[in-house]
Amino acid sequence: MSQHDTPCWQEPPSHRPSRIVLVAAVALVDVDGRVLLAQRPPGKSMAGLWEFPGGKVDAGETPEAALVRELREELGIETAESCLSPIAFASHSYPDFHLLMPVFAARVWKGTPTPLEGQQLAWVKPARMGDYPMPPADIPLVPLLRDLL
């Protein structure tokens, strides 16, 4: 351990975000084993970064229901909650909020993903996901998904 490393049991004092944001994300996996990534459009926070499709979970909504809704709104595709398999979980503190993000995989949906909110889309082999700049919460998911998918 270097002098700059802090053992996990001695975490440095940190700013505590005032709110927790629950977001659900999905790794859509096509028949060729590629994963769909979406680039955040101009005008949104973290514009230009690539992420797994998904979005905020509304009050009274389950993460699965949020994904079904978000996939319809953002990509114009339909899937069922039963087609979503939980595979990972991300937890990350940003300056203004703390993000909690259950991540699912889906291999079954109806329709062709179409960018309906100004985002760019890319089908990416799992081994190449690390080539795409991502928000800090998504980065630790890449090696995990590479191994799982």
142 within a domain of the structure (yes/no): yes
Q: Using alpha carbons, select from 116, 136, 139 the residue that is nearest to residue 45.
A: 136
Q: Please state, in angstroms and as integers, the Cα–Cα distance from residue 5 to each residue in 9, 10, 14, 84, 93, following that order.
A: 12, 10, 15, 38, 19
94 within a domain of the structure (yes/no): yes
* pLDDT values of the chain reduced to their tens digit, one per residue, 149 residues: 444 555 656 655 565 667 999 999 999 999 999 999 999 999 888 999 999 999 999 999 999 999 999 999 999 999 999 999 999 999 999 999 999 999 999 999 999 999 999 899 999 999 999 999 999 999 999 999 999 88
Domain limits at 108? 20-148
Residue 19: per-residue pLDDT: 92
1 within a domain of the structure (yes/no): no
Q: Using alpha carbons, select from 31, 38, 33 the residue that is nearest to residue 71.
A: 38
Predicted TM-score of the model (pTM): 0.87
76 within a domain of the structure (yes/no): yes
Helix (H) / strand (E) containing 71 = helix 63-75
Residue 104: per-residue pLDDT: 98
5 within a domain of the structure (yes/no): no
CB-based contact 36:71 (threshold 8 Å)? no
102 within a domain of the structure (yes/no): yes
13 within a domain of the structure (yes/no): no
8 within a domain of the structure (yes/no): no
Q: How many domains does the chain have?
A: 1
Query: Could you tell me the CATH number of the domain that includes residue 55?
Result: 3.90.79.10
